[in-house]
């Protein structure tokens, strides 16, 4: 399966529009997160990308993730329902929906504004250097997975 590029205007607009249909009370179809927790969860990957978080796994764990999880995370296969997540991305506390939504849209806009060429060959904290296509897959698949979790 080929995923849409997050660097294309139509894909960016479509994802923003899908986010706009999510509400704090939107019921989940699987999993345990609220919509606000899901948004905060998705934001964690952007926090790592932009250096706002530095609590990375030990080097041996990063190497294992790179070897065994890279193709799953950036490849052409969608994420399965109820997939396990990294401990640093688990959300247990209540989150502010509006705050998390604004943060996510700002991160998405920042990547879109920087453009595809700025993301080609950029290093991801656990997976190493990624192509712009791999970055696009990583972000599109993750957000799409969680929007589908809420029927959006």
C-alpha–C-alpha distance, residues 21 and 147, integer Å: 10
pLDDT at position 79, please? Answer: 85
What is this structure's pTM? 0.91
Quote the percentage of the chain above a pLDDT of 70. 100
CA torsion angle 22 35 40 144 (round to 10): -60
Domain ranges of the chain: 9-149
pLDDT (tens digit per residue) in 44-60: 999 999 999 988 777 78
The model's pLDDT over 67-118, given as tens digits with 9 standing for 90+, comes to 778 888 888 888 888 877 777 778 999 999 999 999 999 999 999 999 999 9
Class of domain 9-149: mainly alpha
Among 8-17, 56-65, 134-143, the minimum mean pLDDT is found in 56-65
pLDDT of residue 125: 86
CA–CA dist 78, 18 (Å, integer)? 18
């Amino acid at each position: 399966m080929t995923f849409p590029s997050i660097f294309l205007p139509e894909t960016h607009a479509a994802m923003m529009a899908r986010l706009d249909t999510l509400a704090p009370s939107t019921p989940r179809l699987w999993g345990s997160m609220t919509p606000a927790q899901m948004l905060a969860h998705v934001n964690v990957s952007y926090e790592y990308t932009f250096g706002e978080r530095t609590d990375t796994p030990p080097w041996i764990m990063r190497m294992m993730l790179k070897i065994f999880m890279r193709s799953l995370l950036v490849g052409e296969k969608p994420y399965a329902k109820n997939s396990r997540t990294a401990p640093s991305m688990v959300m247990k506390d209540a989150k502010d929906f509006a705050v998390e939504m604004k943060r996510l849209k700002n991160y998405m806009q920042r990547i879109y504004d920087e453009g595809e060429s700025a993301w080609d060959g950029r290093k991801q904290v656990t997976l190493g250097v990624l192509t712009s296509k791999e970055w696009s897959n990583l972000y599109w698949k993750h957000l799409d997975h969680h929007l589908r979790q809420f029927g959006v």
